Amino acid sequence: MQASLRLARRAVLQQHSTSTVTRVRTLATTTASAAHVGPDATLSSSSSTSTVSSRRAASAIPLSNVEAQWATMTGEEKATVHDQLESLQKRDWKELSLDEKKAAYYVAFGPHGPRAPSSKPGDGLKIFAYTMALVGVAGVMTVALRQFASPPPKTLTKEWKDAENVRAKELGLNPITGVSSEGYKGKGYATH
């Protein structure tokens, strides 16, 4: 029984590896034939990536003033610029022209994509106005809540705190620096 399972497993593995090799050979031949086909021809989905990369290589986008063109470029043109800059940056940085250096810096660190500013120019006044409005609403709510709140407990009155100071002196609490110390001139427990 186990021997027949092993033979079946080997047959399945051989068939799978044969089909994988066939797929790789097919992909290689379609990629090779895609290089000879014009850009208007319809290709299979596996070879469409090779035609896109060959089109990118064929149509180089000028790197001067990339900052001004970046917003209007399509995704494919941006990818072409990325590819161009990637190949340029493999060389020595000192050999690059000033436009190529600027383009590389802008594409890597420019204010686009995740580095795009989160607020537009002129939004500062709106943000300030909304913040002040929220602070005003919080102030009004605080005053309203204090108007309808219950009175403070009797233990927070001035008379109660004065009585606490007298009792602390009688008991001799904190005789070094506190209410019971010699020449003490502080408020003690009084907060008013």
pLDDT grade for 138, boundaries at 50, 70 and 90: very high
Does some domain include residue 16? no
Does some domain include residue 52? no
pLDDT grade for 146, boundaries at 50, 70 and 90: very high
Does some domain include residue 70? yes
Give the residue numbers spanning the domain of 174.
Answer: 153-191
Whether residue 1 is predicted with pLDDT greater than 50 in this model: the reply is no
Number of domains in the chain: 2
CB-based contacts of 85, cutoff 8 Å, min separation 6: 63, 100, 103, 104, 107
pLDDT grade for 148, boundaries at 50, 70 and 90: very high
Does some domain include residue 8? no
Does some domain include residue 133? no
Does some domain include residue 128? no
Does some domain include residue 49? no
Handedness of CA 102, 105, 108, 113 (dihedral sign): negative
Does some domain include residue 85? yes
